[in-house]
Amino acid sequence: DTAVSQTPKYLVTQMGNDKSIKCEQNLGHDTMYWYKQDSKKFLKIMFSYNNKELIINETVPNRFSPKSPDKAHLNLHINSLELGDSAVYFCASSQELDGGNEQFFGPGTRLTVL
């Protein structure tokens, strides 16, 4: 199946730990994104990579570090986790077509920091 996939689906951890979330897309898209959806369901972009190059870097604590080893993968590493990091993190990918750039989302990773 062509899709955007993420691992793990659920992540429960203690404050202060370091964790990573992985994302892969087999859609052949050039651009990948990380979004955070908080408890009020507000979806906000964090980062965007185009062909392994960082394009968008919103105001995100530097405890969050994305890495793109190739254009099909975008990982998110979070250091020193805090309670406020609890959220659902979505990966997305897109390819510009006909003047538009439709983004397709992965299934999400629900992070709970205790």
Partner 1 sequence: QKEVEQNSGPLSVPEGAIASLNCTYSDRVSQSFFWYRQYSGKSPELIMSIYSNGDKEDGRFTAQLNKASQYVSLLIRDSQPSDSATYLCAASASNFGNEKLTFGTGTRLTIIP
Binding mask 57-86 for partner 1 (x = CB under 8 A): ------------------------------
Our finding on whether 43 is near partner 1 (CB under 8 A) is yes
Backbone angles phi, psi at 81, to 5 degrees: -55, 140
Contact 112, 11 (CB under 8 A): yes
Q: Which of 98, 105, 94 is nearest to 32 (CA)?
A: 94
Q: Is 94 in the site for partner 1 (CB under 8 A)?
A: yes
Residue 56 is a binding residue for partner 1 (CB under 8 A): yes
* Residues forming the site for partner 1 (CB under 8 A): 31, 33, 40-45, 48, 50, 55-56, 90, 94, 96, 99-108
